[in-house]
Amino acid sequence: MENLKKKLLALKEDEFKPETILKFLQDANITKDSVKKYVHFEKATYTRNLVCKNAFFEMIILCWEAGHSTMIHDHAAQGCWMTMIDGLIMSDDFKYIAPASFTGSLEKISCASFKKGQSYYIDDTVALHSLRNPVKTHQRAMTLHVYSKPFSSCMAYDLQNKSVNELNLVYHSLQGKRGGPWPAKEINQAL
């Protein structure tokens, strides 16, 4: 985990390319033991646990109880890389529609499952998505996410209410320190 952090911190802004970060994640061999200080679960919601953040990227461990899911969301025009540390996560991907053009429905373009060691890249040119840890797994899941550049809010698409709303993001822990939640917009750096 520390080697991955060092590699990311050494990159320049224009070096955060999908294939580069995917290779870093695949080579990193992240284990539950290597991230245990950043792992914090909550029964009510998945947690976003900040590992590292600077002007070019943020690295977060997400912890999921069975049944936890995100809303359908964009990535604020930024890149998002995910690698599975433990468990199973499903990604439902939808054709991107700008918030101003949303009329209440989205075209689902794929559904994929990710297991330990598998990685994934998405940005708004690829799709919107929703991630979930299926209830039927009866187990927790952990994912590592790298976002470049960091963002403090994204747009959440609500199919039931046919609306799009800004979702302000939070961190449930900072570099292993439990507390918060802390608004992402208030944390500019964590090395």
Q: Give 145's contacts (C-beta < 8 A, 6+ positions apart).
A: 59, 60, 61, 62, 80, 81, 82
Q: What is the pLDDT of residue 68?
A: 98
Q: Which of 103, 99, 9 is nearest to 51 (CA)?
A: 9
How confident is the model over 140-179, as pLDDT tens digits? 999 999 999 999 999 999 999 999 999 999 999 999 999 8
Residue type, 38: Y
pLDDT tens digits along 33-83: 999 999 999 999 999 999 999 999 999 999 999 999 999 999 999 999 999
* Distance of alpha carbon 9 from alpha carbon 57, whole angstroms: 8
Task: Determine whether domain 2-186 maps to CATH 3.40.1190.20.
Answer: no
pLDDT for residue 29 = 87
